[in-house]
Amino acid sequence: MSDAAVLGALDGVRIVDLTQMLAGPYCTMLLADQGAEVIKVEPLDGDHTRIIGPYHADDKLKAFGGYFASVNRNKKSIGIDLKTAAGRELVLKLCDNADAVVENYRGGVMDRLGLSYETLHARNPKLVYATIRGFGDVRTGRSPYADFPAYDVISQAMGGIMAITGPDKDTPMKVGPGVGDIVPAITCAFGIVSAIFRAHKTGKGQFVDVGMVDAILAVCERIMHQHSYAHALPHPEGNHHPLLCPFGMFPAKDGFVTIAAHADAHFPILCRLIDKPEFATDPRFITVQDRRANQDVLIATVSDFTGQRTKQELLKHFGGKVPFSPVYNVRDIVADPHFKVREMLPWVPHPGLDHEVQIAGVAVKMTETPGSVRHRAPLLGEHTDQYLQSIGCSEADIARLRDDKIVI
């Protein structure tokens, strides 16, 4: 890992990151992975995820755990007390030379601190100001819940994803990873890059607002056309699809596998592979709609075949012939050569450890400007001096700011 690695596509873009927890940091991580310079402005006690863990058993320092390490790689850290006028002035100066500022405070907090979009835009008209809030910002549409706090589980619930996830139609269920944070983060990163592109063309920045609930609804787009076109009320479908079959999870002797052979191109192949070639011409299964209407028979037949074999046996039997995968846990992922060759399991150093640890890698691959994990997550205030000097602070100024507990 090195800052001297091949430059990313966003090299030269500067982001002031005023986010904490998961949604905001994941958003700015995506930008940092592609080469943006991300200045993480933390309170003097740090982003609260620093203390969540998990900590490695050999960690002698415990400066931060795996949570923080995973979503704050490639960033620089500066600790500033925003409750002080002097601290806020430092942030204003950082934003004067930035392409974007990103924050995920509750609505109105930045306004009260004198760091509103309007204030920063007046100083730097090219600045893109991006927010991630549970129910959006009043500038783009005042939600009746605008002042409500929100986390992943809240946006999953109200955005509709829980209502179509679960083991049966009566049991909604939380999705495993924090998609209520991560989907808004990805959406916001797309919005930021789009707005920066526009600002570079026109010289004018803008306000970019992502409501967490809105982003989840956008991901659940299927429920809207089911409701609008078919007047249906979508509900959890267990591990199968409401419109397609066979498309879902099936048992194996040692776990589970997934098969998606609903299409006309794949269904006859599946029939042959499960020793039921006659199903390909059976009137019950001729069209996609027919297969869905008779899904109970199909699911039971495929399950009977898969349940008598191991995941690896099924991978050899189905792999490359129809869309298929074993259901992997993280140990399976680490052992599979796909993720190694795709550089999805990078090793990073960690303060307090004398060996490296693995985190998830960069999914967006580019041939000329590849994104990468160039350096580990920063220690709290690790780059304070560097950035204070960049906005004109002398060594004496920095020492005074530290003595006054304005920076760390």
Per domain, the residue ranges of the chain are: 14-219+340-403, 247-328
Place of tokens 């192949």: 269
List strand residue ranges (DSSP E) for 227-373, in order: 247-252, 255-260, 324-326, 347-348, 357-358
DSSP 399: H
What whole-number distance in Å separates Cα of residue 288 and Cα of residue 263?
7
CATH number for the 247-328 domain, one of 1.10.150.570, 3.40.718.10, 3.30.1540.10, 3.40.50.300? 3.30.1540.10
pLDDT digits (tens, 9 = 90+) for 280-322: 999 999 999 999 999 999 999 999 999 999 999 999 999 999 9
**Is it the case that residue 1 has pLDDT exceeding 70?**
no
Strand order in the sheet with 247-252: 247-252, 255-260, 324-326
**Predicted local distance difference test score (pLDDT) of residue 288:** 96
Shortest CA distance to 66 belongs to which of 80, 51, 83? 51
Q: Per residue in 351-368, pLDDT tens? A: 999 999 999 999 999 999
Q: What are the catalytic residues?
A: 181
Identify whether the C-beta of residue 15 lies closer than 8 Å to the C-beta of residue 38.
Answer: yes
The pLDDT tens digits for 192-250 are: 999 999 999 999 999 999 999 999 999 999 999 999 999 999 999 999 999 999 999 99
Residue range 14-219+340-403 in CATH 3.40.50.10540: yes
pLDDT value at position 121? 98
Instruction: Report the percent of the chain where pLDDT is more than 90.
Output: 98
pLDDT for position 5: 59
Residue 6 scores a pLDDT above 80: no
Mean pLDDT score across all residues of the chain: 97
Q: For residue 179, what pLDDT is reported? A: 98
- Rounded to an integer, the average pLDDT of 63-77 is 98
* C-alpha separations of 372 from 35, 76, 247, 308, 376 in Å: 8, 15, 34, 42, 11
Q: What pLDDT, on the 0 to 100 scale, is given for residue 401?
A: 98
pLDDT at residue 136 is higher than 90: yes
pLDDT at position 4 over 80: no
The predicted structure's pLDDT at residue 217: 98
Confidence of residue 166 (pLDDT cuts 50, 70, 90): very high
